[in-house]
Amino acid sequence: MTHYPKLSGQLCYLSPCQVEDVEKWEAWFNDLEVSLPLGDEAYIPMSEEKMAEELRAALLHHAHIFSIIHKRTGELIGRCILFNIDMVNQTAMLGLVIGEKGYWGKGYGREALRLLLDYGFNLLNLNNIMVGVFSFNHRAVRSYRALGFQEIGRRREARLVAGKRYDVILLDLLAEEFRAANAGWGVATLLPSAGTARDAERESK
């Protein structure tokens, strides 16, 4: 299968999802260690056909879904998504999973998240991106907070697992907060400087 580096970091890049990618998703989402922190995926047997249907449905609802690709090897290691996108109010929700467990805790998820936020804030021109995380998913909570997300509320005892209840933590990040912490990085670096743009304009006349 072919993947394209839409947004690229040092460890990984984001590529538009291919239908063929769902073959790996099937393995990930039927692994409870991967799917339990995500939500409903843990409670439903996930077939390749079902996941392909969900991908098509998400795209029809204007979700932006990316495969996370290991930069050096080209291996598909995860998936991330912006969904519930409201272009009038400039808001969205996000989701992310590193499905290949050998890459957990090595910075791939955090870099992929940073790339997805760069895309959302600096290409889609969103202003507020929100995520919901189960309170037992400590690694994810740390990653979101490290990138500047702030807790805005909790839905208390909203997830029941093995007889124990957990909160859903709601966190969000604003575009200005992301840009302040990521100046000189990402999409903005691909633009010519004002001086370079003026010079190019003069040369074209």
Confidence band of 193 (pLDDT split at 50, 70, 90): low
Residue 194 confidence (pLDDT) above 70: no
Q: What is the mean pLDDT of residues 141-170?
A: 95
- Closest to 116 (Cα-Cα) out of 173, 72, 61: 173
Return the higher-pLDDT residue of 199 and 129: 129
d(CA 77, CA 33): 15
Give the pTM. Answer: 0.87
Q: Please report where in the chains the tokens 């998703």 appear, as a residue.
A: 25
pLDDT of residue 49: 80
The per-residue pLDDT for 8 is 94
Q: Which of the two residues, 202 and 173, has the higher pLDDT score?
A: 173
The predicted structure's pLDDT at residue 170: 98
Q: What is the pLDDT of residues 111-153, one digit of tens each?
A: 999 999 999 999 999 999 999 999 999 999 999 999 999 999 9
Mean pLDDT in residue range 148-169: 96
The conformational region for residue 60 under phi > 0 = left, psi -120 to 50 = alpha, else beta, is alpha
What number of CA atoms fall less than 13 Å from residue 110's CA on the CB side? 15
What span, in angstroms and rounded, lies between the C-alpha atoms of 110 and 117?
11
The three-class DSSP label of residue 40 is helix
Rounded-to-10 torsion of CA 155, 160, 161, 165: 60
CA dist 198 → 129, 194, 204 (Å)? 34, 6, 10
Report the distance separating Cα 30 and Cα 136, nearest Å. 20
Residue 199 lies inside a defined structural domain of this protein: no
The CATH code of the domain that includes 88 is 3.40.630.30
Summarised one tens digit per residue, pLDDT across range 7-32 is 999 999 999 988 889 889 888 988 98
Does residue 1 form part of some domain? no
Asked, for residue 194, whether it belongs to a domain, the answer is no
Full residue range of the structural domain in which residue 160 is found: 7-188
In a domain, 122, yes or no: yes
pLDDT tens across 78-92, in order? 999 999 999 999 999
Question: Total structural domains in the chain?
Answer: 1
**130 located within any domain:** yes
Closest CA to 151 of 173, 136, 134: 173
Residue 197 lies inside a defined structural domain of this protein: no
Domain-embedded: residue 68: yes
Question: Which residues make Cβ contacts (< 8 Å) with residue 81, sequence separation at least 6?
Answer: 58, 63, 64, 65, 66, 94, 95, 96
Give the separation between CA 6 and CA 148, rounded to whole angstroms.
23
Tell me the C-alpha distance between 5 and 16, whole Å: 8
Does residue 106 belong to any structural domain of this protein?
A: yes
pLDDT of residue 42: 66
